[in-house]
Amino acid sequence: MSPSIPSIADLTTVRARHPEAIAEAAARRVRRPLIGDSGRLMIVAADHPARGSLGVGDRRLAMANRADLLERLCTALSRPGVDGVLATADVLEDLLLLGVLENKVVMGSMNRGGLAGAAFEMDDRFTGHRAEDIERLRFDAGKLLLRIDYADTGSLTTLEASARAVDAMAARELPVFVEPFISHRVDGRVRNDLSAEAVTRSVAVASGLGGTSAYTWLKLPVTHDPDDMAEVLETSTLPAVLLGGDIGGSPADQNAAYERWRKALRLPTVQGMVVGRSLLYPAGGSVEEAVDTAVGLL
């Protein structure tokens, strides 16, 4: 089976007949430091499907085709300058079986319980990787999403669970990337506030989670006005990576996002980027072109 052309039938056969192959692949995977020779970090994210968030632009189920997603991930991981991948267990285990995670940073996505569009979306429980899973599989880091809606008590559950996850990861000396937002509902849908004040508050809350911040990183969006990011990042000394996200449906939107990222990457606490749909499903051009452009920003 070629890593660049995944076969769903072959993967399913291995899963059905030799499920132990996943643990075996994880045990023999060649690891690398979190920060490599470049001094920067470029991670491709693909943890959206487990939250029921399958859309890209106007394609509501773009990420639902697993063979297509895996092929895009394999392409992205093969490009120079891409350090690793962030995903849930099912996707990471497919990539392990395909043999494309050698010498890559592997980040497990920890809380996916706040399903997109659900009434309980802000009660974002930890239904993905636990700290013990990340340690057992010899993965390199974890990531959690922390959306805080002051009008939704479900956010308190998420806050407490997030703090305990930070503790559990620190006890194992494993980095955890916290992705915080101040959020609110508009016409029943959760919207993240990207104003400078809101992002500043989210940074302050996320930085104080748990009994130690020694292994905590921040995964932050760029504010509406990228010129505000310098002041926002003065809120914490924790290392940060920029969040990509779904940046719009046109090449112009993508180019504008690249320029925002370019400015923010100059700031001293910013160590790199974690970008998903905009690279795997670019509005214009190929996956290779989108990934190479993003890597070039670093």
pLDDT tens-digit series, residues 53-99 = 999 888 899 999 999 999 999 999 999 999 999 999 999 999 999 99
Could you tell me the residue ranges of all domains in the chain?
Answer: 8-297
Is residue 1 predicted with pLDDT exceeding 60? no
Superfamily for domain range 8-297 = Aldolase class I (3.20.20.70)
Is residue 3 predicted with pLDDT exceeding 60? no
How far from each other are the two terminal CA atoms of the chain, in whole angstroms? 33
Mean pLDDT of the chain: 93
DSSP-derived pairing of the beta strands 189-193 and 176-186: antiparallel
Q: Give me the mean pLDDT over the 168-176 stretch.
A: 98
Tokens describing residue 128: 């993905």
Collect all residues with Cβ–Cβ distance below 8 Å to 24 and sequence separation of at least 6. none
C-alpha to C-alpha distance for 192 and 199, rounded to whole angstroms: 9
C-alpha to C-alpha distance for 120 and 113, rounded to whole angstroms: 9
**Whether 79 contacts 288, CB under 8 Å:** yes
Nearest Cα to 140, choosing from 186, 177, 165? 177
C-alpha to C-alpha distance for 55 and 193, rounded to whole angstroms: 20
Is residue 249 predicted with pLDDT exceeding 70? no
Q: 3-class SS at 120?
A: coil
The pLDDT value recorded for residue 246 is 63
**Whether 129 contacts 162, CB under 8 Å:** no
Q: Is the pTM of this model over 0.85?
A: yes
Under DSSP, the state recorded for 64 is: G
